[in-house]
Structure 1
Amino acid sequence: MLSYLVNNPAEERPIMNATDYRAPANGVENVFNRAVRWLTDRGVNLAGAQTLTVTGRVSGTPQRIPVNPLQIDGHEYLVSPRGNTQWSRNARAVPTAELRRGRRVRAVRLAEIAVDQRAPIIRTYLDKWGWEVGRLLPEGLGVDPTDDELARHIADLPVFEIHAA
């Protein structure tokens, strides 16, 4: 952690508005997330879902959330369709994490992608998982956004590249 902060001072990291976050709308979404995480932890492949474990930036305790890693041209990414979520804030503070599906656990380091480089990644993510995450997107952003719609919301959707730890 310390070496990351020394090598990557905060002023080099993008600053996100803490209010750009869509919380789960109801208990059904929380139950769904827990079910997906439970199945993923037991090795069930649900459209590529894996469990991301990040360290809580305040509590220091592990936080687990189902995510959909995206492969593009030999690179792997995570997109936060809900916006500036707890896991994305935690990943900025402590970029080391774990990705798990069943017994397969990978130690990873997450590096946030600059806002001006996110558009093609978000488009590809929505092409693949828009059917699943469309209801989570910021208001005014659909699963097949125009260039203008995407430009208005691109800073609200954190994107991280996944690197081996």
Structure 2
Amino acid sequence: MTIRYDQPAASARAFNEVIRWLAEAGISIAGSCALRVRGRKTGVVRTVVVNLMTVDGRRYVVSPRGNTQWARNARAAAEVETGPRWRRRTVRIAEVADADKTELLRRYLDRWYWEVKGHVGGLTPHSSDDEIRAVAPSIPVFELLG
């Protein structure tokens, strides 16, 4: 895994806070979903908003900004909570192997490139499979199990 983390600017954090609040209230904007994960050092549960992607009946979340705090926490905890405040659901997660990310990242870019275009390691929806494979190790992808 390549270490890359595109830290959000203050304006992006403020916007994400609004989208997170809506997601926790059960209002999804373009597939957004509240994801809660326990901190690996503090034990405090943190909430972020992610785009929930379903492919062939399987659910995935992607960390386009790279090795973010939530991705590291999810990796350590091996489980996350998803959904709005009143319908939280704990699910186990498994990190997708780099070799299996190409098609998933292509679908993610096709759907959400407009939202994440500056944070996916230079990828676009028109990137070749080789370009995606080269950047895939720096983009954590998790499958939600159960």
Same fold (TM over 0.5): yes
1:152 aligns with 2:134: yes
TM-score by length of 1: 0.83
Aligned to 2:52: 69
Q: Provide Cα deviations, 1:27-54, integer angstroms capped at 9, x if missing partner.
A: 1100011000011111212111111101
Aligned to 1:22: 6
Aligned to 1:31: 14
Aligned to 1:9: none
Tell me, which stretches of 5 or more residues in structure 2 are unaligned?
none
**2:79 is matched with which residue: 96, 118, 130?**
96
Paired with 1:146 and 1:89, the residues of 2 have a C-alpha distance of 28
* 1:141 alignment partner, SS class: coil
* 2:117 alignment partner, SS class: helix
Paired with 1:43 and 1:91, the residues of 2 have a C-alpha distance of 22
TM-score by length of 2: 0.94
Q: How far does residue 103 in structure 1 lie from its aligned partner after superposition?
A: 2.9
Paired with 2:79 and 2:136, the residues of 1 have a C-alpha distance of 24
Paired with 2:120 and 2:60, the residues of 1 have a C-alpha distance of 17
1:60 aligns with 2:48: no
Q: Percent identity?
A: 41
Amino acid at match of 2:132: L
- Cα RMSD after superposing both structures: 1.3
Computing the radius of gyration over CA atoms, which structure comes out larger, 1 or 2? 1
Q: How far does residue 141 in structure 1 lie from its aligned partner after superposition?
A: 2.0
Amino acid at match of 2:74: A
Tell me, which stretches of 5 or more residues in structure 1 are unaligned?
1-15
* 1:124 alignment partner, SS class: helix
User: In the alignment, is the contact (CA less than 8 A) between 1:44 and 1:102 conserved in 2?
Assistant: no
User: In the alignment, is the contact (CA less than 8 A) between 2:48 and 2:70 conserved in 1?
Assistant: yes
